Structure 1
Amino acid sequence: MDLDLELGALAAQDGLPASMVWRLLRHPVARRQAALLRRDLTGEQMEEIIALGSARSLAMNRWVPAPVKARLAQHPEPVIRCAVAASATDEPPGLLARLAGDPDPLVRSFLTMNEHLTVDLMTRLAEDPDPSVRDWLPQHCRNAPPAVRRALFTDREPGVRGAALAFWSPPPDLLPTLLADPQTRVRAARHSPPTPELARDPDPRVRRAVAAHPDLPEALRDLLAQDPDILVRNEIACRADTPPALREQLTATLTTDDPVESFLLAHRGHTCRQPAPAPPALTREQAEALLARAGL
């Protein structure tokens, strides 16, 4: 294993003596891992981490005491305030509200990731003057209340409305408007019952959404199996309810010289690689040998 990776893994290992943690703080990779993951950092170690330039990693550590988080929330570097915004609890009370008013929109965007947001704060972020902040809300606030969702489905910016459609189902009364809007029609089609009109839409992205719909009728499935767009036909071929004979026919048509289409075809329905197993914990003797090898 790479020496930096070994030191980083050791820095996150439970049960290390404080003297060994201090030595690891001298190594930049190990220091960042310790700052990010250790739950037993002392006040002096946190001060050392900040002084050595790893405040951002420390700000993301969920075990860092509230007073330290509050202090980092006032750091002049926005990236450090972003880390606090994504991970802090509301201690002292009002900290998250203060971050919701941060002058940097990226800090306010990172606040949408915070699992401690109240409904009032979600509502405030849904009304943020910067659309990039509103755009982040649907992805990270899956539990947003109906009023917040409606506000974003009717947002003046099409990108925000599209983000809402990517992660939430729209209220039935808003769906016709979102389907009629060329800027949201593609994503809205995912939430609409399949219709012949949508299956014949001039935009192939709309037809792909119809082809992937779980309640696609057989008649529309057979219609889309003849679609001129290769990615529409591929969606039909990937359906679990497509008859084997039809799937075989479709597979024979799924060849292209277009590199983009080839990429999309290759990755449709792929499975994510399993994460690598955590390295085994080192004994005290093994840890000392590793530190000696690293000159620590």
Structure 2
Amino acid sequence: MNLDAELSALAVQEDLPADLVRRLLRHPQARRSVALLRRDLTEELTDELIRLGSARSLAANSSVPAQVRARLAQHPEPSVRAAVAASVEDEPSGLLDRLADDPDPSVRSFLAMNEHVPMELLARLAGDPEPSVRSSVIQYWRHAPEAVRRALLTDADPKIRRDAVSKYSPPADLLPVLLADTVTRSRAVRYVDPSPELAADPDSGVREAVAAHPKLPAELRDLPAGDPDVFVRNAIAARQDTPAALRENLVTTLTSDDPITEWVLSFRRPPHTCPPRAPAPPNLTREQAEDLLARAGL
């Protein structure tokens, strides 16, 4: 572990004496860790962190007292207000409403991901004039009522319609509309039974959706297995019900000169495991912490 990483780890160590925490504020990376992650920040330390330019990290720390976060909600920098909006509670009363009226759309977008926002306020954000705000609502409001879902599924913005059909199960009467829309067609396939027509659709995204469909019948599997698009074939190889021999044959065809494409292809197929998380560093004694700070010139 390099010196910067060691200092950042020390910055979040529980029960670290206040005088050592203060010394860490002189190191930019450790200061960000203090502002973002410590749960024992005093009013004096929060004032110092704001003065040193760590207001954004501090605003994202949910352990900071409510009065401090309410103060940061009025910060001139939108990124600071957005960090507050993501998780702040309505304290003092009316704070969430004020954030919903923030002139910067990034603040309203972050507010949409806040679990403390009431349904009526989320519904208001779902009709926000800025598409990025509506998109954030779709991403984080999984159980939106039907009226909100309908509005988003038929939104004038193509990206919003595509995001909405990816997240929400559409009402039956909207399915023909979504299947007829070139923007939403591939995402709407999951809600209908696969057919030979869909499996041979000109849009490779539609064919890939058919290949991944949980109700794909065995008699339709051979068509996407021979598809010219590598992602369609990969979707068949990734299915648990694909016979082992067919999967092995398909895998030999799933190659790309693009390393990113190669990674995406392999990621979608089992087995895929993420590397284990690095173990947390051990807590330092005061003597060890003093030695580390001295080596860093703090």
Fold equivalence (TM over 0.5): yes
Q: Tell me the equivalent position of 1:210.
A: 210
Q: Tell me the equivalent position of 1:178.
A: 178
Q: Tell me the equivalent position of 1:145.
A: 145
1:207-234 per-position Cα deviation (integer Å, ceiling 9, x unaligned): 0011011111111112221222222122
Note the C-alpha offset of 1:259.
6.1
1:187-245 per-position Cα deviation (integer Å, ceiling 9, x unaligned): 12233321222111111111001101111111111222122222212211221111122
Q: State how far apart, in whole Å, the 1-side matches of 2:285 and 2:127 are.
A: 53
Moved more, 174-183 or 33-42: 174-183
Contact 1:122-1:148 within 8 A present in 2 as well: no
Q: Tell me the equivalent position of 1:117.
A: 117
Identical counterparts, % of pairs: 66
Give TM-score, length-normalised by structure 1: 0.94
Q: Tell me the equivalent position of 1:252.
A: 252
Q: State how far apart, in whole Å, the 1-side matches of 2:194 and 2:53 are.
A: 54
Q: State how far apart, in whole Å, the 2-side matches of 1:77 and 1:286 are.
A: 38
- 2:25 partner letter: L
Q: 1:74/1:178 Cα in 2 relative to 1: closer, same or farther (>3 Å)?
A: same
Note the C-alpha offset of 1:158.
1.3
- 2:151 partner letter: A
1:97-124 per-position Cα deviation (integer Å, ceiling 9, x unaligned): 1111100111111111211111011101
Note the C-alpha offset of 1:289.
1.2
Q: 1:256/1:16 Cα in 2 relative to 1: closer, same or farther (>3 Å)?
A: closer
Q: State how far apart, in whole Å, the 2-side matches of 1:215 and 1:34 are.
A: 50
Q: Tell me the equivalent position of 1:295.
A: 297
Q: State how far apart, in whole Å, the 2-side matches of 1:256 and 1:85 are.
A: 42
Q: Does 1:90 align with 2:94?
A: no
Moved more, 102-111 or 282-291: 282-291
Give TM-score, length-normalised by structure 2: 0.93
- Name structure 1 gaps, 5 residues minimum: none
Q: Does 1:130 align with 2:91?
A: no
Query: For the aligned residues, what is the CA RMSD?
Result: 1.7
Contact 1:119-1:145 within 8 A present in 2 as well: no
Q: State how far apart, in whole Å, the 2-side matches of 1:54 and 1:259 are.
A: 37
Q: 1:200/1:62 Cα in 2 relative to 1: closer, same or farther (>3 Å)?
A: same
Q: Tell me the equivalent position of 1:272.
A: 274
The alignment of Structure 1 onto Structure 2 pairs a total of residues equal to: 296
- Report the 3-state secondary structure (helix = DSSP H, G, I; strand = E; otherwise coil) of the residue aligned with 1:46: helix
- Report the 3-state secondary structure (helix = DSSP H, G, I; strand = E; otherwise coil) of the residue aligned with 2:86: helix
